[in-house]
Amino acid sequence: MNKMTYNELGAVPLTSFKGIGKSRAELFFKQGIVSARDVLDYFPRNYLDERQRTPISEIMVDQDVIIRGRLLGELKNFHKGRMTITNGRIADETGEIPVVWFNQPYLVNNLKAGGLYLFQGRVKRNGYRIQLSSPKVQPASEEMPGIVSVYPLGGGLTQKMVSGAVRGALDLLDPLDDPLPMNYRQTFPDRFTAYSDMHYPETFEKMEKARARLAFDELFIQQLALIRMKQGRDEQRTGLSLKGDPDKERNLTESLPYPLTGAQERCVTEIRQDLASDKAMNRLLQGDVGSGKTVVAFLSVYRAFLSGYQSALMVPTEVLARQHYQEAARVLEPFGLKVSLLTGSVTGKERKQLLEDLAEGRIDLLIGTHALIQDTVAFHSLGLVITDEQHRFGVRQRMVLAGKGAEEKASINVLVMTATPIPRTLTMILYGDMDISLLDEMPPGRTPVKTYSVDTGYEERLYRFMRSQVEQGHQVYIICPAVEAQEDSQETENPLRSATDYSAFLSQSVFPDLTVGLLHGKMKPALKEEVMQDFVDGKIQILVSTTVVEVGVNVPNASLMVIENAERFGLAQLHQLRGRVGRGKTESFCVLVSDQKQTSTRKRLKVLVDSTDGFYIAEEDLRLRGSGDVFGLRQHGFPQFKAADLYRDMDLLRQAQQLSRTVMELDPSLNQLEHRGIRQELERFWENAVITQAGTG
């Protein structure tokens, strides 16, 4: 094939590569890899240096080692209770050692007798002998030892499959294709070299230079996108001015059963100033779980109503939509507003009448799911659009809803809300196109959730504690990191606990007399809604779930949150999950279960045990774990970073900000010849903006 540009590789299917047929392409597709370009951006999660291997003759007990050796004979599986144990022996030129894995029976088919592999793990004593315990395995090259890329796997992929596809993609990539003009590259390698050294580095120094170049590209394009959004906002048509009635608004505030916090009053003032201006509001309302964002939103809706305009509130799930609807009706309808609910469950004559009332202005606040953006939904005079848990919606979904305003010469006021704690140092970077209101004060009387970190040795005590909570009339969440058992997991003696298996075990063997429910993202939407509603209604006493419950459903009766394999989650996500309990007056608890003994893991979990400040926790998560998937641009509706890390790459980010401003000042339309490649990258960035609801749990 002829050499292609990076963008052209996006149209090259994996099936064009030797050794990748339809079935193997399906394995890549499960990991989000569709094209040759996707393969290039599927970066190693770490690297093994074969040159640092330990000869078997020199290994010691409790030593972490890398052994480059051959598998002697076939692996054997045998069962011990609920556990499958896989045994084998490996050898290098200096000796032999037994090797054992736990709950990874599929390895007998994956590892071939006589094959040369890298084994990375810990040497442990087993009675009178030593053995290599649950090592991670990587095919080794027959060539001279060097640095080996280790790719994240899943869905049946192997390291060999990924590495082969990467080589195929690199063979197609035009070495001269680079969107950055030479004078912009500073000390970075060209893009072809960067991709080559990222996947097949000769030295770690070259790998880091490659990563820096690819990280810079991501940050640079992201900053250009934010500048474009900000420019569009600044140049937009006149906004709807909503001046309200201060006396009536004061009456609503005084009718609330609790006084506003100082932070709520400040945010309400900022929003009302925006609404009263002749510029359309575009504001982010950021507040920790329980800080009172919803009340601030309702007061904003009342301002729109008093000004003669309708409002829309879009949320990610039907259960959450119903909860908001019930609360909005209680707070707002006594003051003359008509509040309605639109979800996928509203059909037939009921839906037809609702849409008619909406179009004729008889509904003042419409609350719903993504059903709000359907073409058949037309407002009479939409003046304010609010999205809750906004990172669950794509950029374009929010734009579609905001585009339903009736005014042709004015733009809709937009308020987006999030309980996802973003570190203060990054908020202005991730949300540079928006004004920001921060709810950094909790309402009085909210009891902090007591948090504990334990290992599986506490399991029986934990079961007794769960039962005691249920006997007191409360409910329990149990969060698992996986939906089903992961055959391709690289776990050791502490395998991932799956929601499906664990809920069956608990209902049959531990709590046969209690109602145990199951919830995960692979269930059909209607069934998910039914299960969550049953938990809200108290019909389910113990809910075993994946992270789908992290979206802010309010179940005041839930008093205990148990999170299995807690080390698998970021601190910010653990804090979000913990926020599902402690929402009533009852003392509440969160128990983090992890058998990981690494100092770094224990330190991370201790942050959550010691603090309930979401913003502090987010800062620590960023510092200890890096940005990864937690603080990638998915929260902003943008594609997440693949090479960049917002904590370690702050200097690169500053360079990217400076260059993006320079380029946009010189060539705002990016039409100059030297900027054509940058424009293509920016267009592709927008094409990849998250459209559908992020994450399925």
| CATH number, domain containing residue 306 | 3.40.50.300
Please answer whether residues 519 and 528 qualify as being in contact, where contact means their C-beta atoms are separated by less than 8 angstroms.
yes
* Residue 625 is assigned to a structural domain of this protein: no
What does the pLDDT read at residue 547? 83
Q: Residue 592's domain spans which residues?
A: 450-611
* Residue at a domain's end among 415, 439, 463: 439
Residue 189 in 3-state DSSP?
A: coil
Same domain, 135 and 167: no
Q: Which of 201-210, 304-313, 420-429 has the lowest mean pLDDT?
A: 420-429
pLDDT of 467 above 60: yes
* Residue at a domain's end among 117, 150, 183: 150
Conformation bin of residue 411: beta by default, left when phi > 0, alpha when psi is -120 to 50: beta
DSSP category for residue 80: E
Lookup: tokens for 122: 């810990």
Same domain, 123 and 161: no
Residues 213-240 have a mean pLDDT of 79
> In the chain, pLDDT over 90 holds for what percent of residues?
44
Query: Quick one: which H or E segment has residue 312?
Result: strand 310-314
Please answer whether residues 336 and 276 qualify as being in contact, where contact means their C-beta atoms are separated by less than 8 angstroms.
no
Torsion angle in degrees (nearest 10) through CA of 683, 32, 41, 147: 180
Same domain, 164 and 86: no
CA–CA distance, 494 with 567 (Å, rounded to integer): 11
Q: pLDDT tens-digit profile of 562-608? A: 999 999 888 878 888 898 888 777 899 999 999 887 887 888 899 99
DSSP category for residue 496: P
* Residue at a domain's end among 439, 466, 496: 439
Beta partners for 560?
476, 589
From the list 133, 136, 24, 116, the residue with the least C-alpha distance to 69 is 116
* Residue 528 is assigned to a structural domain of this protein: yes
Banded model confidence at residue 392, pLDDT cuts 50, 70, 90 = very low
* Residue 515 is assigned to a structural domain of this protein: yes
Lookup: tokens for 552: 């802010």
If one counts every other C-beta atom within 10 angstroms of the C-beta of residue 324, the result is 25
CA–CA distance, 275 with 411 (Å, rounded to integer): 11
Lookup: tokens for 148: 């080996």
| CATH (domain of 108) | 2.40.50.140
Q: pLDDT tens-digit profile of 5-17? A: 998 998 999 999 9
CA–CA distance, 511 with 503 (Å, rounded to integer): 10
What does the pLDDT read at residue 487? 43
**Looking at per-residue confidence, does 157 or 563 come out higher?**
563
**Looking at per-residue confidence, does 394 or 490 come out higher?**
394
Same domain, 516 and 598: yes
* Residue 694 is assigned to a structural domain of this protein: no
What does the pLDDT read at residue 492? 42
Residues 202-214 have a mean pLDDT of 94
All residues at 6 or more sequence positions from 140 whose CB lies less than 8 Å from its CB, including other chains: 50, 68, 116, 117, 118, 148
From the list 557, 684, 689, the residue with the least C-alpha distance to 5 is 684
Q: pLDDT tens-digit profile of 75-127? A: 999 988 778 899 999 999 999 999 999 988 888 988 999 999 989 899 998 88
DSSP-assigned states of every residue in 240-293: PP----HHHHHHHHHHSSSPPPHHHHHHHHHHHHHHHSSS--EEEEEE-TTS-H
Lookup: tokens for 376: 């058949």
* Residue 478 is assigned to a structural domain of this protein: yes
φ, ψ of residue 88 in degrees (nearest 5): -165, -175
Same domain, 414 and 463: no
In single-letter form, the type of residue at position 197 comes to: D
All residues at 6 or more sequence positions from 347 whose CB lies less than 8 Å from its CB, including other chains: none
* Residue 602 is assigned to a structural domain of this protein: yes
Same domain, 164 and 61: no
Banded model confidence at residue 634, pLDDT cuts 50, 70, 90 = very low
What does the pLDDT read at residue 245? 93
Crossing angle for the helix pair 650-666 and 204-234, to the nearest 10 degrees: 50
Residues 30-45 have a mean pLDDT of 91
Same domain, 429 and 480: no
Q: pLDDT tens-digit profile of 363-388? A: 999 999 888 888 889 999 999 999 88
Banded model confidence at residue 232, pLDDT cuts 50, 70, 90 = low
Please answer whether residues 562 and 449 qualify as being in contact, where contact means their C-beta atoms are separated by less than 8 angstroms.
no
CA–CA distance, 109 with 95 (Å, rounded to integer): 25
* Residue 639 is assigned to a structural domain of this protein: no
In angstroms, the first-to-last Cα distance of the chain is 40
Same domain, 491 and 586: yes
pLDDT of 425 above 90: no
Same domain, 378 and 482: no
Same domain, 418 and 285: yes
Same domain, 461 and 561: yes
Residue 340 in 3-state DSSP?
A: strand
Alpha helices, H only, 374-441: 395-402, 424-430
Banded model confidence at residue 630, pLDDT cuts 50, 70, 90 = very low
* Residue 530 is assigned to a structural domain of this protein: yes
| CATH (domain of 5) | 1.10.150
All residues at 6 or more sequence positions from 543 whose CB lies less than 8 Å from its CB, including other chains: 475, 476, 477, 478, 516, 517, 518, 519, 531, 535, 549
Please answer whether residues 277 and 451 qualify as being in contact, where contact means their C-beta atoms are separated by less than 8 angstroms.
no
What is the rounded average pLDDT for all residues in the chain?
85
What does the pLDDT read at residue 370? 81
φ, ψ of residue 150 in degrees (nearest 5): -115, 115
What 3 state SS string does 547-609 have? HHHHCCCCCCCEEEEEECCHHHCCHHHHHHHHCCCCCCCCCCEEEEECCCCCHHHHHHHHHHH
Lookup: tokens for 456: 């599986």
Banded model confidence at residue 233, pLDDT cuts 50, 70, 90 = low
What does the pLDDT read at residue 348? 92
φ, ψ of residue 74 in degrees (nearest 5): -85, 150
What does the pLDDT read at residue 637? 46
Number of domains in the chain: 4
DSSP category for residue 367: E
Same domain, 412 and 560: no
